[in-house]
Structure 1
Amino acid sequence: MARDVNDTTPITSRNALVEWFEAGIKTPDDLNVGTEHEKIPFFGESRAPVPYTSPAGGIKDLLEGLGAALGWEPITDREAIIGLYDPHGQGAVSLEPGGQFELSGAPLPTVHGVKDELDAHFAALEPVARRFGISFLDLGASPKWRRAETPAMPKQRYGIMAAYMPKVGALGLDMMFRTATIQVNLDYTSEKDMVDKLRVGLALQPIVTALFANSPFIDGEPTGFLSQRSQIWRDTDADRTGMLPFAFEPGMGFERYVDYALDVPLYFVKRGEVYHNVAGASFRDLLDGKLAALPGERATMSDWANHLGAIFPEARLKRYLEMRGADGGPRSHMTALPALFVGLFYDRAALDGALALIEGWSAEERETLRADVPRLALAARIKGRSALEIARDMLALARAGLARRGKRDAQERDETIYLAPLEEIAESGRTLAERRLEAYHGKWGRSVEPAFMDCLL
Structure 2
Amino acid sequence: MARDLTDSTPIASREELVAYLEAGCRPSAQFRIGTEHEKFPFRRADLSPVAYEGPNGIRALLDGMQCLLGWEPIMEAGHIIGLYDVTGGGAISLEPGGQFELSGAPLETLHQTCSELHAHLAQVREIANPLGLGFLGLGMSPKWSLAETPVMPKGRYGIMTRYMPKVGSRGLDMMYRTATVQVNLDFSSEADMVRKMRVGLALQPIATALFANSPFTDGKPNGFLSARSEIWRDTDNARAGMLPFVFEDGMGFERYVDYALDVPMYFVKRGDHYHDVAGASFRDLMAGRLPQLPGERATVADWANHLSTIFPEVRLKRFLEMRGADSGPTSRICALPAFWVGLFYHQPSLDAAWELVKGWSAQERQALRDAVPAQGLAAHIGNRTALEVARDALALSEAGLAARARRNSFGDHEGIHLAPLLRVVEEKRSLAETLLQKYEGDWGRSVDPVFAEFAY
Q: Please classify the TM superposition score into its range, dividing by the shorter chain length.
A: over 0.9
How far, CA to CA, are the matches of 1:280 and 1:22 in structure 2? Answer: 27
Report the alpha carbon displacement of residue 54 of structure 1 after superposing the two structures with TM.
2.0
- Match of 2:399? 400
- Match of 1:11? 11
- Match of 2:335? 336
Aligned length in residues: 456
- Match of 1:431? 430
- Match of 2:131? 132
Which amino acid is the alignment partner of residue 8 of structure 1?
Answer: S
The 5 A counterparts of 1:18-417 are 18-55=18-55, 57-417=56-416
Report the alpha carbon displacement of residue 67 of structure 1 after superposing the two structures with TM.
1.1
* TM-score between both structures, scaled by the size of structure 2: 0.99
How far, CA to CA, are the matches of 2:126 and 2:384 in structure 1? Answer: 47
Q: Is the 8 A contact 2:43 2:132 kept in 1?
A: yes
Report the alpha carbon displacement of residue 440 of structure 1 after superposing the two structures with TM.
0.5
Deviations 1:348-377 (A, max 9, x none): 100001001101111111111010000000
1:426 aligned counterpart, secondary structure:
helix
Deviations 1:329-349 (A, max 9, x none): 000011101111110001010
2:199 aligned counterpart, secondary structure:
helix
How far, CA to CA, are the matches of 2:183 and 2:157 in structure 1? Answer: 23
1:127 aligned counterpart, secondary structure:
helix
2:193 aligned counterpart, secondary structure:
helix
Deviations 1:24-56 (A, max 9, x none): 00101111010000000100011100000124x
Q: Is the 8 A contact 2:85 2:91 kept in 1?
A: yes
Which amino acid is the alignment partner of residue 243 of structure 1?
Answer: M
How far, CA to CA, are the matches of 1:451 and 1:349 in structure 2? Answer: 40
How far, CA to CA, are the matches of 1:157 and 1:203 in structure 2? Answer: 31
How far, CA to CA, are the matches of 1:401 and 1:87 in structure 2? Answer: 32
How far, CA to CA, are the matches of 2:448 and 2:402 in structure 1? Answer: 42
How far, CA to CA, are the matches of 2:122 and 2:437 in structure 1? Answer: 32
2:183 aligned counterpart, secondary structure:
strand
Report the alpha carbon displacement of residue 451 of structure 1 after superposing the two structures with TM.
1.3
1:329 aligned counterpart, secondary structure:
coil
How far, CA to CA, are the matches of 1:451 and 1:337 in structure 2? Answer: 21
Which amino acid is the alignment partner of residue 2 of structure 1?
Answer: A
Report the alpha carbon displacement of residue 305 of structure 1 after superposing the two structures with TM.
0.1
How far, CA to CA, are the matches of 1:395 and 1:272 in structure 2? Answer: 46
Report the alpha carbon displacement of residue 105 of structure 1 after superposing the two structures with TM.
0.3
Are 1:456 and 2:455 matched, yes or no? yes
Which amino acid is the alignment partner of residue 277 of structure 2?
Answer: V
Which amino acid is the alignment partner of residue 290 of structure 2?
Answer: L
Unaligned ranges ≥5, structure 1: none
How far, CA to CA, are the matches of 1:437 and 1:119 in structure 2? Answer: 27
1:183 aligned counterpart, secondary structure:
strand
Q: Is the 8 A contact 2:12 2:287 kept in 1?
A: no
**Greater mean deviation of Cα atoms: 200-209 or 81-90:** 81-90
How far, CA to CA, are the matches of 2:237 and 2:128 in structure 1? Answer: 37
How far, CA to CA, are the matches of 1:104 and 1:227 in structure 2? Answer: 23
How far, CA to CA, are the matches of 1:399 and 1:386 in structure 2? Answer: 20
Which amino acid is the alignment partner of residue 7 of structure 1?
Answer: D
How far, CA to CA, are the matches of 1:54 and 1:131 in structure 2? Answer: 14
* TM-score between both structures, scaled by the size of structure 1: 0.99
Report the alpha carbon displacement of residue 78 of structure 1 after superposing the two structures with TM.
1.4
Which amino acid is the alignment partner of residue 237 of structure 2?
Answer: A
Query: Cα RMSD between the aligned structures?
Result: 0.6
Q: Is the 8 A contact 2:242 2:366 kept in 1?
A: yes
**Greater mean deviation of Cα atoms: 259-268 or 5-14:** 5-14
How far, CA to CA, are the matches of 2:29 and 2:369 in structure 1? Answer: 34
How far, CA to CA, are the matches of 2:441 and 2:304 in structure 1? Answer: 48
Which amino acid is the alignment partner of residue 127 of structure 2?
Answer: V
Report the alpha carbon displacement of residue 120 of structure 1 after superposing the two structures with TM.
1.4
Deviations 1:112-168 (A, max 9, x none): 110111121112111100010000111110001000000000000000000000000
Report the alpha carbon displacement of residue 429 of structure 1 after superposing the two structures with TM.
0.6
Which amino acid is the alignment partner of residue 175 of structure 1?
Answer: M
How far, CA to CA, are the matches of 1:196 and 1:404 in structure 2? Answer: 20
How far, CA to CA, are the matches of 1:103 and 1:267 in structure 2? Answer: 24
Report the alpha carbon displacement of residue 89 of structure 1 after superposing the two structures with TM.
3.6
